[in-house]
Amino acid sequence: MSADAPKGSVVQPAANEGGSFPRSARLLKHSDFERVYKQGRRHFSPHMTVFYLPRAVAASASDAAEAKASSRIGFTVGRVLGGAVQRNHIKRRLRDAVRQRRAALNGAEAVDVVINPKKSVLTVEFTTVVSEVGRALELIAKRVGRNRSAESETRQ
DSSP conformation letters of 43-78:
EEETTEEEEEEEPPPPSSHHHHHHHHS--EEEE---
Beta bridge partners of 96: none
User: Of 156, 102, 154, which is closest to residue 133 (Cα–Cα)?
Assistant: 102
**CATH: 3.30.230.10, 2.60.40.10, 1.10.10.60, 2.160.10.10. Which one for 23-151?**
3.30.230.10
90-119 pLDDT, tens digit per residue, is: 999 999 999 999 888 887 789 999 999 999
pLDDT at 66: 53
Q: Give the phi and the psi of residue 110 in degrees, each rounded to 5.
A: -65, 135
The predicted model scores a pTM of 0.75
11-60 pLDDT, tens digit per residue, is: 334 444 556 788 888 999 999 999 999 999 999 999 999 999 998 743 33
pLDDT at 153: 47
Residue 88: is its pLDDT beyond 80? yes
- Domain spans in the chain, listed from the N-terminal domain onward: 23-151
